[in-house]
Structure 1
Amino acid sequence: MAQDLRSLFEKDTKAQHAKMSEGHEARFLDKLDAELPVKKQSTRFSFLNMAASVIILLGLSFGAYQFFQSTPVIPDDDKQVVETNIKTLGDVSPDLKKVEDYYLASINLELSKVQMTPENKDLVDGYIQRLKELNEEYDKLTLELNENGPNEENLDALIDNLKFRLNLVMRLKDKLQEFNDDTFTQESI
């Protein structure tokens, strides 16, 4: 039962040498071309594809150049650029912020209580003008705080300015009370 496999394969390959008919390969290739035609790309579209690639490449290169270029922008005129990161008294310390908030709230509260009438308008306007001057001085001190950094003299000057403004408003209130009392006593006579 056992047979040599080599001898079987040798006999089988000699019997299997069948030849194809003439022109079989050419007919097969013709049928293949008919079923799957080869499309040739027109040179016009390939040229447009290359042109579009070049334009995109140039655009990206220009964008990268502009992005990584680090030239500072210089204003055309001699106007000073206003610094937006200005420190106030409250930025130095949380305790100083509480002091600043207290004084500003007190000043605004007392000013809101002031009743201006045509009779006391000149008196109120004089005090309001002095308050504006103190407010401008406070702004100058704040700028000095930003330029020189926080120091004891500057912080004391800012707090004193707030005290002066509160005292000025309190004096205005007292003067208005005296004015109203004088007006009331003159009307009763």
Structure 2
Amino acid sequence: MAQDLRNLFEEDSKDQQTKMSEGHEARFLEKLENEFPKERKSTHRFSFLNIAASVVLLLGLSYGGYQYFQTPSETVEPTKIVDAELKSLGDVSPSLKKVEDYYLASINLELSKVQLTPENKELFDGYVERLKELNDEYKALTIELNTNGPNEATLDALINNLKFRLNLVMRLKEKLKEFNDDVFSEESV
């Protein structure tokens, strides 16, 4: 029952001597042309839209890649650095952190010891204004430290600023003591 299919097809093709009717191929091609031109026109329109969409997609991906791979130094301006992101002396080295902590703790301790009265308020306010100026200068130096990186000049300026602030608080305490001594000596006379 099993027969080779190749032999079967060869015998079948010899038995059939059929030919297509005359004009059959021409009618077939005409029907084919009538059906497919509509689809070819729409294909051209879609291919133009496909090209345009590809260009827009390529431009979008290029811009996105440029934004993604752009370095932060090109996008962040030094004046827009937030205080939380700023490095301080303590971030540069542990020994500088000890120095910074010592001066800041001493300044705060001495300020907490100052006794403010209505009589010495004007003197106190003058010193506080100068302390605010030094604090603003310290912040500017910290921004410079972050922008330019740690260098000896900036680190020295930061430490000197802390020294100036501590000396200013100490002078304030001395002036207030002198002021209070003068007020008490005038009251006792």
TM-score relative to the length of structure 2 = 0.58
Letter in 2 for 1:102: Y
Equivalent residue, structure 2, for 1:82: 81
Letter in 2 for 1:126: G
Distance 2:167 2:80 in 1: 35
CA shift, 1:110, in A, is 0.3
SS in 2 for 1:118: coil
The gaps in structure 2 that reach 5 residues or longer are 1-60, 69-78
1:144 aligns with 2:183: no
CA contact (8 A) 2:103 2:162 kept: yes
Give the RMSD, CA atoms, in angstroms: 2.2
The gaps in structure 1 that reach 5 residues or longer are 1-65, 74-79
Identity rate, percent = 71
Equivalent residue, structure 2, for 1:169: 169
The count of residues paired between Structure 1 and Structure 2 equals 118
Distance 1:151 1:134 in 2: 20
What aligned pairs does 1:45-124 form with structure 2 within 5 A after superposition?
70=65, 72=67, 81-83=80-82, 84-124=84-124
Distance 2:188 2:90 in 1: 50
Distance 1:155 1:81 in 2: 21
Equivalent residue, structure 2, for 1:50: none
Distance 1:167 1:96 in 2: 19
CA shift, 1:82, in A, is 3.2
Q: For the pair shown, which has the larger CA radius of gyration, 1 or 2?
A: 1
Superposed CA deviations along residues 23-55 of structure 1, whole A, max 9, x for unmatched, are: xxxxxxxxxxxxxxxxxxxxxxxxxxxxxxxxx
CA shift, 1:72, in A, is 3.8
Superposed CA deviations along residues 77-104 of structure 1, whole A, max 9, x for unmatched, are: xxx7434521101100000000000000
Residues 81/166 of structure 1: CA separation in 2 closer, same or farther (3 Å cut): closer
Detail structure 1 runs of 4+ shifted over 2 Å in the superposition: 69-73, 80-85
Residues 163/82 of structure 1: CA separation in 2 closer, same or farther (3 Å cut): same
SS in 2 for 1:87: coil
| Larger proportion of helix | 2
CA contact (8 A) 2:107 2:169 kept: yes
CA contact (8 A) 2:81 2:143 kept: no
What aligned pairs does 1:7-26 form with structure 2 within 5 A after superposition?
none
Distance 2:96 2:104 in 1: 12
TM-score relative to the length of structure 1 = 0.58
Letter in 2 for 1:150: P
Distance 2:179 2:80 in 1: 47
